[in-house]
Structure 1
Amino acid sequence: MPLTRQDAEQLLEQLYATAEVLGSEIKPAAASLMIRDLKDRERGEVEQALARCRSELSGRLTLAAILERMASSDDHLTPNEAWAKALESQDENATVVWTDEIAKAMGAASPVLELGDKVGARMAFIAAYEREVSATKARGDKPRWWPTLGDSKELRKEAIDEAIKQGRLESPKVEHLLPAPTRPEDEPGYDPEKRAKVIAHLRDLLNHNDEAARQRRQEEVERFEKRRQEVLEQAEKHMAGVRS
């Protein structure tokens, strides 16, 4: 929820107090600008960031220092995680869900990677990625996740579904990217006559199994009835012998 007027006034006082704790001074115009740049943030998130600044900083209070200590700044992947994600994009079949920062850093590293220097490409990527992430944090922006589509429909669905679960993509906005459900007639080598024969065969098997089960139940009933008759006959013979 964006800051209310009351939130802004109270956070302004906390800005002054935090700067004072750090042994520096902040001018009213600069403090007002900082509050304006933070207006779309949650008040609690800003207060937690200021608390971290008071305990971690040893110099002047800056907007960048506040933004870097917000919970939302952790939405970015670490450089090594981002590099692993970028390498996935080298597989033409793979669909990769990445951020602007990863894509731009990969653009800087690709020429080195094409020369076969994977170590140098990684170094170039990490340096570029850290610059891009720092610039994004300084603007107060969150990472924007988006998919780069590969050739494999199966891998595409898997990657997009996982990104939706992680909250990186919104389902309504990416539904059109998912492959449509396949129908039997769309599959390569589809033969309607062969399919009809297979279905008929399965139906015959099911009917046969049903008939076999019915036959077994009938035989069990007949065996039970036969045994019941034998027991009754034995009982009658026994009673006849007792009477005689």
Structure 2
Amino acid sequence: MPLTRDDAEQLLEQLYATAEVLGSEIKPAAATLMIRDLRNYERAEVEQALARCRAEINGRLTLAAILERVPSANAYLSANEAWALALASMDEAETVVWTEEIAKALGVASPILTEGDKVGARMAFIAAYEREVEQAKAKGSQPSWKPSLGHDPQRREMALQEAAEAGKLPAPRVEALLPPPEKPVTEEGRAQVREITNHLRDLIAGRDQEAARRREEQRQKQEARRQELVAQAEQRMRERNNATQRRA
């Protein structure tokens, strides 16, 4: 939740005190600007960042030093981390969970990468990504993580579960993107499977028997026809023999 007016006043006092502990001073106008630039962060985060500044640095207190120690101000991936994720997304089997800034930067680098210039593509990506992140931070935006689903179901499940554990995606969203868990097979279910299997086996056996019966009928018909032809041939032979004997 952004800072309230009371939060801002309390943090302003802590800002002056932290600068004094570090042996420096902050003018009221500069301190007010620093609080204004910190207005989109949680008060507890800013207080923790100031405490770390008092313990870790010496000399002048700067806004950059404070922001380096605000966790949500550093929620974006580094340019090299984002580049590795962008490269993984080029594999159609891979599922990645990334931000709009990474997707836009990859759009800039993709034509160069397609030409085979990986070094040039990386340089173009990093420049584009850092520009997108700076613009987002200037607006006080936080990373908005979105899944890009690959076709490998095992990799998809692993990537989505890792994103849920890291707090990048809400659990209900992950559940909606994954197939429902398999239900355990009950004894009733096994009985149904056996019944269906037996029915199919009977059908197949019945068809086999019917086919065998038809083949036997066909064989018998062919044999009867053969016997008929043989008898006809023998009859003609006898008739020719009788005719020959009469002429003799």
Report the TM-score, using the length of structure 1 for normalisation: 0.61
Deviation per CA, 1:25-66, whole angstroms, max 9, x where unpaired?
Answer: 4444x644543553453323212323455654866734x553
* Aligned equivalents of 2:113, 2:52: Cα separation in 1: 39
Correspondence 1:160 to 2:160: yes
Letter in 2 for 1:126: I
Gaps of 5+ in 1: 184-191, 202-244
Secondary structure of 2:176's match? helix
Written as runs of structure 1 = structure 2, the 5 A alignment for 1:50-69 is 50-52=50-52, 56=57, 61-62=62-63, 65-69=65-69
Letter in 2 for 1:162: E
Partner of 1:126: 126
In the TM superposition, residue 165 of structure 1 has moved relative to its aligned partner by 1.7
Correspondence 1:113 to 2:113: yes
CA contact (8 A) 1:67 1:140 kept: no
Secondary structure of 1:98's match? strand
Q: 1:70 to 1:116 in 2, by over 3 A?
A: same
Written as runs of structure 1 = structure 2, the 5 A alignment for 1:5-154 is 5-18=5-18, 23=24, 25-28=26-29, 31-32=31-32, 34-52=34-52, 56=57, 61-62=62-63, 65-154=65-154
Gaps of 5+ in 2: 184-191, 202-248
Look at both structures and tell me which one has the larger radius of gyration over its CA atoms: 2
Letter in 2 for 1:163: A
* Aligned equivalents of 1:110, 1:59: Cα separation in 2: 42
**Aligned-residue CA RMSD in angstroms?**
3.7
In the TM superposition, residue 78 of structure 1 has moved relative to its aligned partner by 2.6
* Aligned equivalents of 2:74, 2:37: Cα separation in 1: 19
Secondary structure of 2:163's match? helix
In the TM superposition, residue 99 of structure 1 has moved relative to its aligned partner by 1.5
In the TM superposition, residue 175 of structure 1 has moved relative to its aligned partner by 3.1
* Aligned equivalents of 2:181, 2:195: Cα separation in 1: 19
CA contact (8 A) 1:95 1:159 kept: yes
* Aligned equivalents of 1:78, 1:5: Cα separation in 2: 33
Deviation per CA, 1:98-152, whole angstroms, max 9, x where unpaired?
Answer: 1122212212211110111011111211222223333333443322111112233
